[in-house]
Structure 1
Amino acid sequence: MKRNFVQLAVAGIGLWSALVGAAVAKYPDKPLHMVVPYSAGGGVDNITRVVAKGLGTRVQQPVVVDNRPGASANIGANLVAKAAPDGYTMLVGATFLAFNRATTKNLPYDAATDLIPVARLGKAPFVLVVPATLPVKNVAELVAYMKVNPKTASYGAVGAGAPTNLIFPKNTGTKPIQVLYKGGATAMPDLIAGRLTFMIQTASEVLPLVRSGKLHALAVTGTSRFYALPDVPTMKEAGVADLESTGWWGVFLPAHTPAPIVDKLSDELQLVMKQPDVIESLHKMGIESAPLPAAKFKPFFQKELKSYDDVARQFHLVVN
């Protein structure tokens, strides 16, 4: 009986391996879905549409961009975490995965265990921007303005626990009012109109508005100046410490997706991110193509999770 059980188990494993092998050999043989957990027009959406086009060309299958905004990006992230682990539903994630996990109680998914890091796509600094009509020309003047107007100074945020939005007021001695939005694009009309005092947002979302003169850039995060805004100082140069982190974007799949599918998708995305037209398109948006394969993206993501956990403890953050 024991021998028969072992033989059946071995046969079952062999059959499963054969089925997985067949699935990988055909993958992908139907449309892929890239879930964007924000509204259209924001930083995550912008890079996704460029990557989706390139990926579709490579794999010869339609790649559908599926915007699922809401709950600080948790609706879209949870949708992917609960999706079938077959490689056809992927999440385009960013720093929100780390700070949501660190600051939000009772999430229906765990970014550390329910999602598999597949490939990093790109990176860019965050940019501190103000309405062009606001009478400030630099960070020092913005800080002075907010201290004179403590009851009306406000900022737009996508995710209540974003470290940049917490560290900036703390390290400048200001207390602006936080206004939450489902995506950066939905906040821009209020910022341009002056209903918000400032935002610290990814470069790809604000760069076109800075170039058009609707917004004024005061500083960028990171350790060096941003190629697209060479005359704009870093936060450190502007006198604000501890704001050197930058934004990034990456693709994730549901946990338990077979490793061969993860590796195959990772390989395809590495090639997409090295295509000259993709690099050029992202460069114009203010995004640097910065691909990492699954083997390197995983430790990078784990480091991000720890970093945001540290910030959450430092600021005693719990959103709900």
Structure 2
Amino acid sequence: MALRYRYALQGMGLLLGSFCLLAAGPASAQADWPKARPVTITVGFGPGAFTDVIARVVAQKLGETTGGTFTVENKPGAGGNIATGQVKRAAPDGYTILVHSVAYAVNPSLYPNAGYDALKDFVPLALGPRTPNIITVHPATPAKDLKELIELARREKLSYASSGIGTTTHLSIERLKTAAKVDITHVPYQPAQAIAAVVAGHAPMSSTSMPPAVPQIKAGKVRAIAVTSAKRSALLPDVPSVTEFGYADFDDYTWVGFFLPAGTPQALVDRINAEINKAMELPESKEKFVSLGMESTRNSSTEFGSFLRAEVDKWAGVVKSTGAKVE
């Protein structure tokens, strides 16, 4: 009887010891972050994309400020869905971070099966730099502002180049077409080629994010018509917003976001969020963002989560109303 009692106590001790080890595991991983092993930052797009550029700026600064090792891994394809699916399956321990664009919020509505739930499968870690989309025209196009461009579209057959089907640069113009009751033919390009198509005269107008457009605007190769944010951008203060021409509820941005797999402990989320904000606020980081036509603002995981929910709902409505889809 005493022997069985002793074995029972030993068994309970082993069970408690195992429980303590399991409980200590996540806590230990949190305490060690980011020095236990390299942190992989997985980017949903290829090298040279603005998401990739932002990821590499932040990765470098994180390495300098935390002493950890941060490696950037590009996993392009399916509008970022390949990378998203990979990170979704990663351990929620802070050692795999997803960097995506606004496409993260659009894709679940745009694709028949994007492979993830934007609000359930990830923790919104931090909102990175963002930029309004911008409408530009070839200098030979007679329209000098958005009102004249809409009037021109009513008289003539126009087309516009965008950064691809289902991007916010595409969907923003589709929203505008519906509001203005005009028909302008969409011609999708790869992001870097959309503005080049207007410069070369292959399309009379374009809708792109600001990074590829700003250098061409400053060089006089395209003319800026309007930005799609509710207010003017501080980066191009002379360019009016779409709302100034009477189109309400336009506040469309191209943005970069950082995400962690669902289940990541909140204490670790808050710690990594603080480090990313610190990295983005460094003067060299801000200078790089400005050179891309982008701006960043300190934000918490909770604040990014609220922003993300609004973006998912907004773009789901736009996709439904415009009938946009990717097979």
| Aligned counterpart, 1:263 | 270
Match runs of 1:1-320 below 5 Å? 11-29=17-35, 30-150=37-157, 153-160=159-166, 162=168, 163-182=171-190, 184-320=191-327
Give the Cα separation in 2 of the matches to 1:42 and 1:196. 22
Matched to 2:242, the amino acid is M
- Considering only CA atoms, is the larger Rg found in Structure 1 or Structure 2? 2
| Aligned counterpart, 2:4 | none
Matched to 2:21, the amino acid is L
Tell me which of the two structures has the higher relative contact order, counting C-alpha pairs closer than 8 angstroms and 6 or more residues apart. 1
- The Cα of 1:142 is off from its aligned counterpart by 2.6
Per-residue CA deviation, residues 79-117 of structure 1 (Å, 9 max, x unaligned), is: 322333332222222321111112322222222222211
Per-residue CA deviation, residues 234-264 of structure 1 (Å, 9 max, x unaligned), is: 1022344432233332200122334343222
Distance 1:254 1:237, change over 3 A: same
Distance 1:187 1:26, change over 3 A: same
Give the Cα separation in 2 of the matches to 1:273 and 1:22. 27
Distance 1:13 1:308, change over 3 A: farther
**TM-score, normalised relative to structure 2:** 0.84
Equivalent pair of 2:45/2:52 in contact (CA under 8 Å):
yes
Equivalent pair of 1:167/1:242 in contact (CA under 8 Å):
no
Count of matched residue pairs: 317
Give the Cα separation in 2 of the matches to 1:308 and 1:314. 10
Distance 1:14 1:158, change over 3 A: farther
SS in 1 for 2:124: strand
Give the Cα separation in 2 of the matches to 1:315 and 1:7. 63
Equivalent pair of 1:42/1:205 in contact (CA under 8 Å):
no
Per-residue CA deviation, residues 104-142 of structure 1 (Å, 9 max, x unaligned), is: 222222222222111112232221122344443222333
Equivalent pair of 1:157/1:165 in contact (CA under 8 Å):
no
What fraction of aligned residue pairs are identical, expressed as a percent? 30
SS in 2 for 1:107: coil
Give the Cα separation in 1 of the matches to 2:193 and 2:14. 57
SS in 2 for 1:252: strand
Per-residue CA deviation, residues 29-82 of structure 1 (Å, 9 max, x unaligned), is: 233332222233333233323222222211223433333332222222223223
- The Cα of 1:230 is off from its aligned counterpart by 1.4
**TM-score, normalised relative to structure 1:** 0.86
Give the Cα separation in 2 of the matches to 1:288 and 1:236. 20
RMSD (CA atoms): 2.8
Matched to 1:212, the amino acid is A
- The Cα of 1:268 is off from its aligned counterpart by 0.6
Give the Cα separation in 2 of the matches to 1:172 and 1:241. 11
Matched to 1:255, the amino acid is A
- The Cα of 1:317 is off from its aligned counterpart by 4.8
Distance 1:99 1:317, change over 3 A: same
- The Cα of 1:281 is off from its aligned counterpart by 2.5
Equivalent pair of 1:36/1:69 in contact (CA under 8 Å):
yes
- The Cα of 1:9 is off from its aligned counterpart by 6.6
Unaligned runs of 5+ in 2: 1-7
SS in 2 for 1:125: strand
Give the Cα separation in 1 of the matches to 2:18 and 2:201. 64
Equivalent pair of 1:169/1:175 in contact (CA under 8 Å):
yes
- The Cα of 1:161 is off from its aligned counterpart by 5.8
Distance 1:274 1:298, change over 3 A: same
